[in-house]
Amino acid sequence: MPRHGRTQPDTDRRLSDLISVGLLTRVFPADVVDEVVAQAGRTQQRSRILPSRVMVYYTITMALNSDGSYEDIYADLTDGLSWACRWEEQAVPAPSRSAIFQARVRLGHEPMAALFARVAQPLARPGWEGAWLAGKRLLAVDGTTLDVPDTPANVEHFGRPGTGRGQAGYPQARVVAIAECGSHAILDAVIGGLGTGETTLGGVH
């Protein structure tokens, strides 16, 4: 139940979804988001429906709901932030798909990379099983591939994997990451094309 004087958002989304989005502001505090956006020179120059800070949270929400449409993801974000603010009403007009796309282009990737570098850190505490060996924190390096949208730019940059019948339907990015064994927290990561092997991409010689 919302507190007296608060209005519960009119939504059929699961509470767990709203909580996961609302927690973004705790994991990625607004002042840190604003700082990395400013350092990257991406602070908006005029008032917009989709300011840079909102687009940072929107981009993260896209990773949490990769199957959702632009509009559904935006609704999850605004509902989740409303939940985090204890059911306060937020009169935020829904932007068009074109407006969201343009705002993502304006933001670029630099603030997201800087934000990841600021918040990625080990989580295992002393005594966690599988997290330590001889007093040293255990880390692992591993790689994987991820499908990316089938656009000419992505095909050119990342490459498309071959199959027994030709080429796969989507281009793929290769990701190599360093993870903490005890918590599986990702501490660092690098993304490249399929033509670059994991050893080379990870800088392991």
DSSP state of 92: -
Q: Which two tokens stand for residue 195?
A: 């033509």
**Encoded amino acid at 173, one letter:** A
Q: pLDDT tens digits, residue range 172-185?
A: 999 999 999 999 99
Mean model confidence pLDDT for the chain: 81
Q: What does R_g of the chain's alpha carbons equal in angstroms?
A: 20
Q: Which two tokens stand for residue 1?
A: 């139940």
DSSP state of 179: E
Q: How far apart are CA 151 and CA 166, in angstroms?
A: 18
Give the per-residue pLDDT at 24: 81
Mean pLDDT by 10 residues, the chain (205 residues): 42 51 79 93 75 88 80 76 52 75 91 93 91 94 91 92 75 94 93 91 70
Q: pLDDT tens digits, residue range 105-123?
A: 999 999 999 999 999 999 9
Q: Residues 68, 72, 78, 83: is their CA dihedral positive or negative?
A: negative
By the 10 Å C-beta count (0-12 exposed, 13-18 middle, 19+ buried), 37 is classed as buried
